[in-house]
Amino acid sequence: MKVNDKSGLLEGFVQSSVNICVIGSGRAGMIHAGNFAGSIPGARLVAIVDPVEDVVRASCENLGIDKFYLNYKDALGDKDIDAVIVVSPTVYHRDIVVESAAAGKHILCEKPMAMTESECRDMISAADEAGVKLQLAFMRRFDESFQHAKERIDSGEIGDVVCVKSLTHGPSTPQPWMYDIRKSNGPLAEVSSHDIDSLHWYGGSYIKEVYAIAGNYRCPDARDEFPDFYDNVIMNCRFRNGAQGMVDGAQGVQYGYDSRVEILGTRGLIHVGKNQNFSVLTISPSGIQTPFVKSWRNLFLNAYKREDAHFIECILKDRTPSVTGRDGLEAVKVVNAGNRSIIEKKPIIIEE
């Protein structure tokens, strides 16, 4: 049974556990599925959805469950499922979330929230109307280092926030489907959504204006057919409260996974980020070496667990998630404004 009663008849009812279905068994999907299969109190993984039968069967076997679906619509008709984790390609997020809400399922949706602002608003409205939880998966907000920095900011330790700079460099070459910006929304969506949310979170305000420049430096195969594709982007931002920000995003850098944030205040500075696998420094005749983080899956593994645990807690205790649909919508606004700025080569104002 779910806490999803707008009549008030179940007021005070506390659900004891939440049955989870993960929609999408890619890299992030399997992280969430692994967490719900045994690491999250009050949650039980009961099903996986993936359109490729061999893939979903193998996923179920690895996770020790039997139930799977090839079509998410069939999963939404399963009364044993209380909540879904949406980890499909972004172009499908809107329909899956809207239909999941209509089916009475609580929803944790991976970033980017959707392709357009209109799709985001549809998703928010559907969840509100159905009375179900909608949480966005900006997992950096659940990383202990990122949270500690937020606490220091909120305590006033560095004064008023003046500028937030966030950097994410990914090691792997983009998948070919990402080359078409109209279908993927580009690296600003796929790589930099977390940076944009970090700016919003640390800046205490949503972004009002952006100016972005970008280029394709590492993907020659995309240049002829997809001249608008970029694998490197820098975006300057102005917040609604007047503060400043910057996003630095890149794909295919090869040297490792790099995630860092700098928050400048009127009285101090905070650095956030860890890019070394171990606190080990080797000095030898061949040089100075330290192991670099290879993947976001290594760096933010605990953050995913805390994020998933927060989702379950919000359902069981009937609380509003700390990362809402509004946060997802505002990030999508910035992505689309940034892509427009790249093409039109001018600053773009984002409407409130």
Q: What percent of the chain has pLDDT over 70?
A: 90
Q: Which residues, 6+ apart, have CB-to-CB distance to 124 below 8 Å?
A: 134, 325, 326, 329
The partner residues of 99 in beta bridges, in order of sequence, read: none
Residue ranges of domains in the chain, CATH in brackets: 18-132 (3.40.50.720), 141-303+330-349 (3.30.360.10)
Q: Are 161 and 243 in contact (CB under 8 A)?
A: yes
Residue 8 confidence (pLDDT) above 50: no
Bigger pLDDT: 16 or 111? 111
> CA-to-CA distance for 339 and 349, rounded, in angstroms?
13
Please name the residue that has the structure tokens 């556990």: 17
Q: Summarize pLDDT for 284-298 with one digit per residue, the tens.
A: 688 777 666 676 556
pTM, to two decimals: 0.91
The pLDDT of residue 298: 65
